[in-house]
Amino acid sequence: MNFHVCTLFPEMIKQGCNTSILGRAMEKGLITIGTTDIRDFSTNKHMKVDDYPYGGGAGMVMQAEPVYACVEHVKKQLGGNARVLYMTPQGRTFSQDMAQELAKEENLIFLCGHYEGIDERVLEEVVTDYVSIGDYVLTGGELPAMVMIDAIARLVPDVLHNDVSADIETFYDNLLEYPQYSRPAVWHDKEVPAVLLSGHHKNIEAWRYEQSLERTKRWRPDLYEKHMEAHPPVIKKKRKKKKNNSENK
């Protein structure tokens, strides 16, 4: 899968993405993360890409032409109709479901704004998805793009060592993840729950599910409700005693 970021700060993306799991995934050729500097498409002799907003107001606005030329250049490079995601607090809130949907794409282009935003006219022409990573305002779209790349890339097959771990973790089926423990079995007088040392896989699975349910109910009642809607508890009806046939005679 190929991620491509149009940004004024390519170094930020390169440095943020080339370590740990993403770095290894790139080395293995499972993903690519490319960057293109919007400033390279400036038509101004001082390489400026921003100007004052029409109508006045604080800050500067990124101009339409360099952004347009940059995105079109990347689209051509990728050779196809890649989705163009614009990072903005006004967008749809990013979620695990959205990550799963986007992980099916072959190419994704992230457009990162800075200052007071980007000229609306170019957004209308190039953007396919407006995405926010939460209800707070950051100084630019680079951190949101990195957050999204991280969440999407780990869903690409073989990026995670253990391919079941993406299935059993937080938000799978609207449940938070159960608690995890590792050696030593006793630490600061706290013992690892005995069931985890039992080797009884069915009991361990049941305990973990209980823990997930409990945590979700306590910390994310909104998710708990969704989970319970999809998995209503099975209520076992008491069987009625068969009537004695002789009574009907």
Q: How far apart are CA 150 and CA 112, in angstroms?
A: 16
Whole-number minimum distance, CB 110 to ligand ADE, in Å? 10
Q: Which is nearer to ligand ADE, 38 or 175 (CB)?
A: 38
Check if the beta carbon of residue 21 is closer than 8 Å to that of residue 154: yes
Note whether 7 binds ligand ADE by CB under 6 A: no
Window 77-96: contact mask with ligand ADE (x via CB under 6 A): ----------xxx-------
Q: How far apart are CA 15 and CA 9, in angstroms?
A: 11
Distance CA 66, CA 42 (A): 5
Which of the residues 123 through 162 are near ligand ADE (CB under 6 A)? 132-134, 136-138, 141, 144
Q: Is 157 helix (H, G, I), strand (E, B) or coil?
A: coil
Q: Does 54 bind ligand ADE (CB under 6 A)?
A: no
Minimum distance from residue 232 beta carbon to ligand ADE (Å): 35
Report the residue number, 25 or 142, with the smaller CB distance to ligand ADE.
142
User: DSSP readout, 192-236?
Assistant: PPGGGGS--HHHHHHHHHHHHHHHHHHH-HHHHHHHHHHSPPPPP
Q: Which is nearer to ligand ADE, 139 or 245 (CB)?
A: 139
- Which residues would be at the binding site for ligand ADE (CB under 6 A)? 87-89, 132-134, 136-138, 141, 144
